[in-house]
Amino acid sequence: MTLPAPFPVLVVISVLAGFVGAMSGMGGGVVLIPVLTLLGTNIKTAIAVSMVSVIATSSASASAYVRDRITNLKVGMFLEMFTIVGALVGATITLAAGQRLLFIAFGVVLLASWVALLVQHRYQPTAAEDPDRFTAWLELDGSYVDEAGGTTIAYRAVRAWAGGPLMFGAGLVAGLLGIGAGALKVLIHDLVMRLPAKVSTTTSNLIIGVTALAGSSVFLHDGLVDPGLAAPVVVGVVIGASIGTRVLVRVTNKSVRRFFQVVLFSLGVEMIVRGVAG
Amino acid sequence: MRDRRLNPETVIGYVLLTGTVAATVLVAGGVAWGWATTGRLGLEYRLQGQNLLQIARQDLADLIHTPTPQSLTTLGFVVLLATPLTRVAASLVYFAAVGNRKYVGFTGFVFTVLLYSVVIR
């Protein structure tokens, strides 16, 4: 398959996508797919290639968080049961869906993520809740060392009965659009299961890799994964994500949030307009 | 000081890190090899097979008999796709080792679905 742009250009685009993805916590796909389609790549091929790159960025960042023992493996394993099934269903829908529908769906999800970012911003954690019997049975409690404060933070997840099925939806969106859907996963962890922000983000990162693998399997089976296009994308996105993660610790939460809100809104509107215009 | 002794988190963390680094190096290595031999950046080819097992089997045969830049890049993709699967397998071993049957069941379900969809189908 012919590349939609010269190899170095694709690497630079992917580095930028990985950078923005890492800064926002949503992965490179939200930038990569709109740009690749603008360059003339079929949206289904762009989704398939993005899904493979999500595995790389998620695995790279999850590795550090897991070793630091912030990620909750039990929460991850329980929720992955739902996200992988969702991703398989979502990717199967992508194969059957028309291109215009995918453009519009992508735009709608970006705008929904933009709204989610606003809601998350206004959300103030309330007092700790007692877990229901099902969540207690799942043993979804844990603790981690907060290096900033030097204290050990203990927590207990709640409402796993709702978190699981909702994560099926997040997995479906990920498989459908070739993105990590990190914003949705983090939102479910935060608002429904009441996990601390750090545990929520890092556990979401772990889940994203396995979810992306499930979605990739559908695209691989259908021959949609173009290795020639995936090569510059994977290398670029991994480099961009590494830079983004390092920059993230030096900038304020507010400036990252503001920057990403603009990116999400612009790309969301642009994708919907392209979908409607055909 | 962080506790870096051997524990499930450390093992799983290194599985993910090693897999990603190895995959990226192999993919970049294949591209660089292609550039060195043809003078062109970028590889144009199709993956031979519809699942990880078929692709890995064909790719290993190619690498042994007629190694090409494409076969090295493909090996990178095989390693990349195998990384999360290996992570789930490592979690399964851990939950089995500590005798947590509930999580052996959950992890076993995830592993079986992934194994079927990625490797067997």
Q: pLDDT band for B1, please (50, 70, 90 cuts).
A: very low
Query: What's the confidence (pLDDT) of residue B107?
Result: 97
List Cβ neighbours of A269 (8 Å cut-off, separation of 6 or more). Answer: A107, A111
- Cα A254 to chain centroid distance, Å, stands at 20
| Overall size of chain B counted in residues | 121
Q: pLDDT band for A189, please (50, 70, 90 cuts).
A: confident
User: Which residues on chain A are in Cβ contact (under 8 Å) with B76?
Assistant: 231, 234
Q: Please provide the average confidence, as pLDDT, over all residues in chain B.
A: 91
Extract the tokens encoding A24: 């926002």
- In angstroms, rounded to a whole number, what is the distance separating the alpha carbons of residues A221 and A93? 14
Report whether A21 contacts A27 (CB < 8 A).
Answer: yes
- In angstroms, rounded to a whole number, what is the distance separating the alpha carbons of residues B114 and B121? 10
Query: What's the confidence (pLDDT) of residue A248?
Result: 67
- Cα A237 to chain centroid distance, Å, stands at 13
Angle between helices B52-65 and B69-97 (to 10 degrees): 130
What's the mean pLDDT in A235-254?
78
User: Which residues on chain B are in Cβ contact (under 8 Å) with A52?
Assistant: 77, 80-81
- In angstroms, rounded to a whole number, what is the distance separating the alpha carbons of residues A131 and A195? 12
Write out the DSSP string of B3-16: --SS-HHHHHHHHH
Write out the DSSP string of B27-57: HHHHHHHHHHHHS-SS-----SSSSHHHHHH
pLDDT at A272 over 60: yes
User: Which residues on chain A are in Cβ contact (under 8 Å) with B113?
Assistant: 84-85, 88, 214
- Only one residue has tokens 């207990």, namely A156
Q: pLDDT band for A261, please (50, 70, 90 cuts).
A: confident
Q: What is the pLDDT of residues A131-176, one digit of tens each?
A: 899 999 999 999 988 776 778 889 999 999 999 999 999 999 999 9
Q: What share of chain A in percent tops pLDDT 90?
A: 51
Cβ–Cβ contacts within 10 Å for residue A34, how many? 22
Query: What's the confidence (pLDDT) of residue B20?
Result: 92
- In angstroms, rounded to a whole number, what is the distance separating the alpha carbons of residues A265 and B57? 44
Rounded to a whole number, what is the distance in Å from the CA of B49 to chain A's nearest CA?
Answer: 8
Q: How do strand A141-146 and strand A151-156 relate by DSSP bridges? A: antiparallel
Q: How far is CA A199 from CA A62, A67, B119, in A?
A: 11, 13, 31
Please indicate if any CB of chain A lies within 8 Å of the CB of B46: yes
Report whether A15 contacts A62 (CB < 8 A).
Answer: no
Contact B43 A217 (CB under 8 A): no
Extract the tokens encoding A57: 């960025």
Query: What's the confidence (pLDDT) of residue A251?
Result: 66
pLDDT at A253 over 70: no
Please indicate if any CB of chain B lies within 8 Å of the CB of A224: no
Please indicate if any CB of chain B lies within 8 Å of the CB of A217: yes
Extract the tokens encoding A130: 């007692």
In this prediction the pTM is: 0.91
For an interface test with B, the pick among A83, A210, A218 (most B C-beta atoms closer than 10 Å) comes out as: A210
Please indicate if any CB of chain B lies within 8 Å of the CB of A68: yes
Cβ–Cβ contacts within 10 Å for residue A136, how many? 15
Report whether A207 contacts A186 (CB < 8 A).
Answer: no
- In angstroms, rounded to a whole number, what is the distance separating the alpha carbons of residues A87 and A102? 15
CA atoms within 13 A on the CB side of A175: 33
Which of B21, B43, B114 lies closest to A214 in CB terms? B114
